[in-house]
Chains A and B, each alone.
Chain A
Amino acid sequence: MKADLINPFLAAAFDILERMGKTRAARGQLSLASSPVRGDEVNVAVGVTGDLLGQVIFCMAERTATQLASNMLMGLPVIALDELAKSAVSEFSNMVTGNAVGELGNRDIICSVTPPAIFVGKEVTVSAKDLSFLVIPLQTELGDVKIYIALREANG
């Protein structure tokens, strides 16, 4: 996967974390992971279709997820990862992917985003057919968020 395809996701993650998640973020070392990968306590998968095909997966600890949800919910106290908190974390993932896809669209790479799916539990593994994941580790004030990206060109 080319770096210029990754940069929009990175920029989107920083932007959405700051504006919606109310936290600064720092990027760790990028790496590759072969499919399947083991998830974290809370995992959200967002599909991408169009000129690019694949998945973007957001993984974090439950404590990070509830804190992120609270910040997205205007500071509402979030005690557990209930339905409202889940929709907040899902929407966060949707926003990052939608934002990145918008930026790709400005470069004539036209994609759409499919609804996020959230999986809770340590035993979750995620796979992407025939693809390896690019892993973006982010350190935030709420805890670590890892983004796994597996995208290929539709006509490639």
Chain B
Amino acid sequence: MKRIRTTQLVPGMRLAEDIFLPNTTVTLIAAGTELSIEMIRRIKSLGIESVGIDETKGDSKDETERRLIPILARNHERMITAVEKLIISSAEQPLEEEAVRSLAGDLLSQVEMDSSLLLNLTHIKAYDNYLFSHSVNVAILTLLVGEVLGYSKKELHELGTAALLHDLGMLSVPQEIWQKQGALSPAEQVEIRKHPVYGEELLRASGFSEEVIRVAREHHERYDGSGYPDGKREKEISFKARILAVTDVYDACISFRPYRDQMTPQQALDQLLSEKEKYDPVVLNAFISVMAIYPIGSFVVLNSGEVAKVIRVSKNSPFRPEVRIYFDREGNLLDQPPRINLAEEKNHTLYIDKTLPAEEHKRLAAVIDGAGPGLP
């Protein structure tokens, strides 16, 4: 048990002792209760100065996630390596359609298992291996969007396969170009812009379905006709390629790229929406459902003044993610940051009042990492 000043209480903390009405033996709130925002107001309004808080670490959900995350992360790693092997070997021999399909199938079953944790993984970025991790992450995001759009399992398989291979043509572009630090010369840009066509050729040579081939060729086309290689617009672009257009740009934005700063998920969403004419509105809508309004990793200010980090999103409650409250309203880091699901009935007095700007985001993440509780 730890004594906490009432000004430092945040919703979700668990009482270690009964709270009595002042100067009586009447129990107001019993030990073991998880404090809500109203209870905290009540405690403050009674003039109580401090209360005992139960410090036993984490709830069972945290425990489960602590176990699950490393397993999922290893699977994710393995998936990236498998895609790398497949793609690299395609330089010597035709790609085996079955091998890619089975990878897409594996991804699909992981998406069905715990899509929220998987979404978390796509947001953990490494400096190296961009092409292959990008392929896997885009495939995951694309499958999640496909699910929201009501695709059948068979269609999702096709979609996942196409997503894994959408950038295959990059292999035909000299590596110095796509790994170049700094801006590309006009000639290099011309070369990069050929990768959808190279991809089409490679996939055709390996005998992939017309649908998969179209996605590779069309994923840089834009809804308003501003894309390449053909400047197709609206319905001229296959629907699957219109999905890829969104997930591909989003993942590129949140990744480390040599030529620009990595964006936060919020910045990447803002970026997409600032050019919304380039994307199919139906796809954008589904994508926002998947990512939610306050995407994973966002730092938000609750109406109670506390600062929390979004740790889990759900398409059923895009405005009400699960958060972990890290800072009290004075900005002090909490020893025992509670986890709150804003979608739960008892938490509806709380809401997200605003998101913090990206610079704040990086600073707060560093403060939390420095304290090192290592919570999911």
Are the CB atoms of A88 and B284 closer together than 8 Å? no
Chain A neighbourhood of B89, CB < 8 A: none
Are the CB atoms of B288 and A114 closer together than 8 Å? no
Chain B neighbourhood of A108, CB < 8 A: 45
List the interface of chain B (C-beta within 8 A of A). Answer: 36-38, 41-42, 45, 269-270, 273, 276, 281, 284-285, 288-289, 293, 303-304, 317-320, 345-346, 348-351, 353-354
Are the CB atoms of B38 and A110 closer together than 8 Å? yes
Query: What is the interface residue range for chain A against chain B?
Result: 20 to 34
Contact A111/B38 with A76-B276, A87-B317 known, Cβ cut-off 8 Å:
yes
Chain A neighbourhood of B288, CB < 8 A: 73, 76, 84
Contact with B along A95-126 (1 / 0, CB 8 A): 10011011001001011111110000000000
Nearest Cβ in chain B — how far from A107, in angstroms? 9
**In the complex, A141 has a CB within 8 A of chain B:** no
Q: Show 29 A/B contacts (Cβ-Cβ < 8 Å), sorted by A.
A: A72-B293, A74-B269, A74-B293, A76-B273, A76-B276, A76-B285, A76-B288, A77-B281, A82-B285, A83-B289, A84-B288, A84-B318, A87-B318, A88-B318, A91-B319, A91-B320, A91-B351, A98-B349, A99-B351, A101-B349, A102-B349, A105-B45, A110-B41, A110-B42, A110-B45, A111-B38, A111-B349, A113-B348, A116-B348
**In the complex, A75 has a CB within 8 A of chain B:** yes
Are the CB atoms of B285 and A84 closer together than 8 Å? yes
Chain A neighbourhood of B351, CB < 8 A: 91, 94-95, 98-99
**Minimum-distance CB pairs A-B, first 3:** A91-B319, A77-B281, A105-B41
Are the CB atoms of B304 and A102 closer together than 8 Å? yes
User: How many angstroms from the CA of A101 to the CA of B303 in the assembled complex?
Assistant: 11
**In the complex, A79 has a CB within 8 A of chain B:** yes
Contact with B along A55-79 (1 / 0, CB 8 A): 0000000000000000011111111
List the interface of chain A (C-beta within 8 A of B). Answer: 19, 50, 72-79, 82-84, 87-88, 91, 94-95, 98-99, 101-102, 105, 108, 110-116
Chain B residue with the shortest CB-CB distance to A114: B348
User: How many angstroms from the CA of A91 to the CA of B273 in the assembled complex?
Assistant: 20
Are the CB atoms of B303 and A99 closer together than 8 Å? yes
